[in-house]
Amino acid sequence: MSLDKDTVRNIAFLARIKIPDEELDHLAQELSGIIGWVEQLNEVDTESVEPITSVADMSLYRRKDVVTDGGYQARVLANAPDPEAGCYTVPKVVE
Q: How far is the CB of 25 from other proteins (least distance, A)?
A: 14
Chain positions 36 to 65 lying near other proteins, rule: CB under 8 A, are 37-44, 46, 49-65
Q: How far is the CB of 53 from other proteins (least distance, A)?
A: 4
Q: How far is the CB of 80 from other proteins (least distance, A)?
A: 5
Q: Which of 4, 6, 17, 24 binds other proteins (CB under 8 A)?
A: 17
Residues in the chain, how many?
95
* Contact of 18 with 49, CB cutoff 8 Å: no
- Distance between CA atoms of residues 28 and 14, nearest Å: 16
**Amino acid (one-letter) located at 14:** L
Burial grade of 27 (CB within 10 A; 0-12, 13-18, 19 or more)? middle
Contact call for residue 19 and other proteins (CB under 8 A): yes
- Distance between CA atoms of residues 87 and 43, nearest Å: 52
Q: Which of 6, 21, 25, 84 binds other proteins (CB under 8 A)?
A: 84
Contact call for residue 94 and other proteins (CB under 8 A): yes
